[in-house]
Chains A and B, each alone.
Chain A
Amino acid sequence: MTDPGTGAWPGAGTWPVGGYPPAAARRTSPRIVLVDTATFRQARQLVPIAVPALAGIGLGGGRWTVVGLVVAITLVSLATAALAWWRFSYLDGPAAVVVTRGLVSRSTRTVPNDRIRGIEIEAPPVHRLLGLVRVRIDAAAGGSSSAGRGAGKDEEVLIDGVSRAEGERLRTAVLTKRSRVPVPAADDVDGAPVQPDPEREEEFARFDNRWLLYAPLVGGYLAVPVAAVGALSRILDELPARLLPDVDGPALDPPVVAVIAVVVALVVLAAGAVIGAAVVNWRFRLVRRGGSLIAVRGLLTRRTTELEIDRIRGVAVADGAGMRLVGAARVNGLVTGLGDAQRRGQLLPLGPRAQAEELGRRLVDDPGPLTPHPASARRRRIARGMAAGLLVTAAGAVLTVTSGWWPLLVAGVVLTVLGVPLGLGRYASLGHATGPRSFAVRVGWLVRERAVLERRAVVGWEVTQSWAQRRAGLASVVACVGAGRGGYIAMDMAADDIAAFAVAASEPWAEQLVPGTELGR
């Protein structure tokens, strides 16, 4: 903390905001007024007030009323956008980013540089037209004493509508000023901390458009349209028959119609998935610049995400059932204190598995091949796979006996039988490995994920053993980490291996788990 005397900024609170020169605050580009007018960004907030007001006045209909209304709304939008622009300013000082805004009551937000966890630059379509970008600054909220319930309580500062060059300048400026050594006592905030050659770039991955063909197999895309089709067919069922169009057409066999419908639906779904992936991942590039990884992507909205390499605690390589068929995978970085981790942490969207593995090894030490789990784990997975089916079967049996309605019984039996291959598949996924500096766990079948984490990432262990697991000599262990999903499970390990695994996969404190060290200290 340097010189707390000058830290008298409004809203600075207890943060060490030291040594500000009263530099002139910066403004966003006036062109943002156009963007906001066109998108009704501020005016949208007035809708809840405007609608009842208009309804109260009553509208006489007619063309001129409509024109007048459109003009009035646009004017309101323009006025509010201009006001918002006029009252907004920001300043990237040597120790903090300060944003001032507010129409009537001014609010000043100060985010110390050492709390900033990442900067994202977005360029939505309208912004791109006018050469503007939106800068999103991610910061950890408050001190750890007020952080509340663990991770995920981040705040965000939005600086909307600066020129692209200013956006880049802001990012470099903030990231250079942020102290590399996160120890407050040794903080030389005034001096420029050493930055390892920020200009050199090293490319880690580049999107190949052929990878778009993987998209239809991701599965996540498939669920939504299928649900939509289901809902639609239900609506059609419930419509009175006379409302349905009379399709006379050439008489087709129902099976032929069904096949055609399914094929068309599949083609549409696949095309939709490819287009969706293209919009999000277009010209994806991952480069390393200095101490950061920078991911750029997007067709309509270009998005630049910056992740600090120091904060990367591991990687998760996900390859679902569909992706495994074609050897595809995606890579997520497990980064401490990253909001919206699923989207922002993505380091390789849908690429070939070999490349995904290669990227993962580059970021975190590979702990070696996975050790499979004991045979009793296979029995348990199969039993768990069949459990849902058995439950349905039991309910179906009751129904068949009591009311003679048998379809549920049949469905239950089918589900039970399908549970066997599902259980086998889920068992084949299970595995864990420990290396000198990292460890890995893998779980899942339809959505399979192998997480590789550094030993220092672990902030706690949670061992669970159900009654059935105790009988089978198994137990599960969750490595709690302050990154990614927060916990990564090694499911159904041999109970005897748990303590040794935990010790090998984290720091010495985990020796507390080893049986026979009662009251260690």
Chain B
Amino acid sequence: MAAMTAAPAPVREPAWSLPRTAIGLWVTESLIGVLITALIVGALLIWVPADLGGPVPFLRWAVPIAAALEAVIAVGVRPWLKHRVYRWEVTGDSVYTRTGWLSQTWTLVPVSRIQTVDVTRGFLQQLFGLATVAVFTASSQGTVRIWHLEHGVAQRVADDLAVRAERTRDQAT
């Protein structure tokens, strides 16, 4: 029953994908990360003497190669993979998202159990006109975040969810 490749997802796929500007945001985030890694690796190569013995000569070529590989994946591959994986959906009675890239996470929370809805805009998100909707429940683990929606959409989704949660909230927490 389990096909080796492209096994069907364990649960349903949420209907809507993120705006393509999210890819730009992820690329920018990756570039910043790559820059920091490059500085650290550069410092390693400059200040750690090569004749220290032990594993240092091995690390001197292994670490830069690993960092370069990471950089290529982070900038050139991961943002597009993420854009394919990240999906979201608000249905009549629930909020549903999928996040991740290699590891994937599906989160489903019914509107009736929503306690708080937040919209946050990080610094980079503001540059790209995006925002994150965070939906909180009574459970510390039952938090749904819809990442990187267009700001107007995020605000509308949050308002809609807050109103509906107020109407349908039940007491079972």
Contact = CB atoms under 8 A, between A and B. Distances in A.
Given A150-B140, A481-B139, A521-B93, A509 B54 contact: no
A152 B140 CA distance: 8
Interface stretch (B4-12, B68-76, B148-156): B4-12
Contacts of B115: 144, 147, 150
Contacts of B8: 495, 515
Contacts of B2: 376, 472-473, 495
A190 interface: no
B126 interface: no
B104 interface: yes
Given A398-B58, A403-B54, A403-B55, A499 B10 contact: yes
Most B Cβ at <10 Å: residue of A148, A467, A472, A512: A512
Interface in B36-66: 53-55, 57-58
A465 B142 contact: no
A519 B144 CA distance: 19
Interface residues on A, range: 35 or more
Interface stretch (A100-108, A241-249, A453-461): A453-461
A486 B94 contact: no
Interface string A213-244: 00000000000000000000000000000000
A459 B109 contact: yes
Q: Classify the secondary structure of A's interface with B.
A: mixed
Nearest to B166: A145
Interface string B92-135: 11101000101111111110110110000000000000000000
B138 interface: yes
B45 to A, nearest CB: 18
Contact of B142 (A182, A183, A480): A480
Interface string A456-482: 110111111111001111010010111
A457 B144 CA distance: 17
A168 interface: no
B94 A512 contact: yes
B1 A496 contact: yes
Nearest to A489: B141
Given A512-B94, A521-B91, A487 B58 contact: no
A151 B12 contact: no
A428 interface: no
Contacts, number: 177
Given A460-B109, A461-B107, A183 B171 contact: yes
A244 B28 CA distance: 60
A336 B138 contact: yes
A149 B118 CA distance: 10
A464 B142 contact: no
Nearest to B136: A150
Contact of A144 (B15, B93, B169): B169
B17 interface: no
Contact of A145 (B13, B116, B144, B173): B116
Contact of B141 (A465, A480, A513): A480
Interface in A309-366: 336-337
Interface residues on B, range: 35 or more
B143 interface: yes
Q: Classify the secondary structure of B's interface with A.
A: loop
A480 B137 contact: yes
Contacts of B13: 515, 518
A498 interface: yes
A397 to B, nearest CB: 10
B91 A478 contact: no
B102 A467 contact: yes
A145 B137 CA distance: 11
Interface string B1-35: 11010011111110100000000000000000000
Contacts of A376: 2
B141 A487 contact: yes
22 contacts: A144-B115, A145-B116, A149-B116, A150-B116, A150-B138, A150-B143, A376-B2, A398-B55, A403-B53, A459-B142, A463-B105, A466-B103, A473-B7, A478-B141, A480-B137, A482-B173, A498-B11, A513-B11, A514-B12, A519-B91, A520-B92, A521-B92
Interface of B: 1-2, 4, 7-13, 15, 53-55, 57-58, 89, 91-94, 96, 100, 102-110, 112-113, 115-116, 136-144, 169, 171-173
Given A398-B55, A465-B9, A487-B139, 20 more contacts: A147-B115, A148-B116, A150-B140, A182-B171, A402-B55, A460-B137, A460-B142, A462-B106, A463-B107, A464-B104, A465-B103, A467-B103, A471-B7, A473-B7, A495-B2, A510-B108, A512-B91, A512-B94, A513-B12, A518-B12
